[in-house]
Structure 1
Amino acid sequence: MRKSFLGACLLPLLLVTAAACTKSDDGRDVASVGGTAAPSPTPSLSMLEQGIRYAQCMRAQGVAWPDPEVDGDSVRILGADKNVDADVLNKAEEACKPYQPTLSGPERERKVAGGLEFSRCMRENGVEDFPDPDASGPGDADDSVRKDPQFEQAEVTCRGRMRPSSGPSS
């Protein structure tokens, strides 16, 4: 009886000692409510799925942002209304940056090639300062370029020339 009593007392003592001698966990691999994990772009999502997720985020931030449009094989990511308060838009863009659609592979190459073609067309039609696309997507004309008297007609002409799958879709 004395041996079983001693065994019953030794087992918990042994477990407590083993637990005390193990390395403590710093908590880095533990999920928590107050965590700071940020979502990241998911290139495995289709452009349409990325565009919808981004639009939902922008709307959640108070910006009226439409869902993407689909035209055949082309997905066009639309933008906010021109009358949106700049501060609200900037804050929403910053908050939704992790969800911003990203192109990859052949889709990206086709889009950049279309953007280059569109930019060249705009310059050939009188808008000399129209920018080429960069790594983030098609070139976007700032207000000074948009005020060019030839801008509107050049844009109509160039959009008419573009195939639906290669035109810039910002």
Structure 2
Amino acid sequence: MRILVIALAFLVVGCGAIPGLGADGKKHDQLVKYAQCLRQQGVNASDPPAGEDGFNLDARGVPKDKLEAALKTCKQYAPKEEPPSAEDLDRMRKTAACLRKNGVEASDPTAAEPGIRVGSPPPGKDIDAIMAACQKEVGE
């Protein structure tokens, strides 16, 4: 099971992937509806590629209150996640520590709230590059 580092409900700034429900047609269609709904609310979310179980979300520049409103409006289409394993949770905590080491505010995930709240990167730094480096360091 792949648990993604950034959970939508707590995304403040940045972008990440939204976990899916699997690649079958019905579940894929649900993810497409979710992405479409988010776009209608002004949040940049790409449709998942055919056969994929996730999609990209870019919330940079979206005010926190607007993002939270979009998530609430589109909740009916949101994917349901299984709780993370202890191994996944440990990996997410290591990723949060790596983000902080690189100057990005990042909360530690818990079993109840497995996402990482991510703040803005330091001036002149790219959040995508920092996230990619941390995922490589942690082994995701």
- The interval holding the TM-score normalised by the smaller chain is 0.5 to 0.7
Shift of 1:81: 4.7
2:111 is the alignment partner of 1:132: no
Contact kept, 8 Å, 1:69 with 1:78, in 2: the verdict is no
For residue 37 of structure 1, what is the aligned residue in structure 2? none
Q: How does 1:12-31 map to 2 (within 5 A)?
A: none
Gaps of 5+ in 2: 1-19
For residue 80 of structure 2, what is the aligned residue in structure 1? 102
Identity of aligned residues (%): 22
Contact kept, 8 Å, 1:53 with 1:99, in 2: the verdict is yes
Which is richer in helix?
1
The count of corresponding residues between Structure 1 and Structure 2 is 113
Gaps of 5+ in 1: 1-44
| Higher CA-based Rg | 1
Q: CA–CA distance in 2 between the matches of 1:75 and 1:162?
A: 22
Q: CA–CA distance in 2 between the matches of 1:150 and 1:83?
A: 16
Could you say what the CA RMSD is over the residues aligned between the two structures, in angstroms? 3.9
Contact kept, 8 Å, 2:96 with 2:108, in 1: the verdict is yes
Shift of 1:96: 0.8
AA of the residue aligned to 1:117: K
Which is richer in strand?
2
For residue 96 of structure 2, what is the aligned residue in structure 1? 119
Contact kept, 8 Å, 1:69 with 1:77, in 2: the verdict is yes
For residue 70 of structure 2, what is the aligned residue in structure 1? 92
Candidates 21, 27, 43, aligned match of 1:46: 21
Q: Deviations over 1:107-143 (max 9, x none)?
A: x3264343122123334x3548532124333212223
Contact kept, 8 Å, 1:131 with 1:141, in 2: the verdict is yes
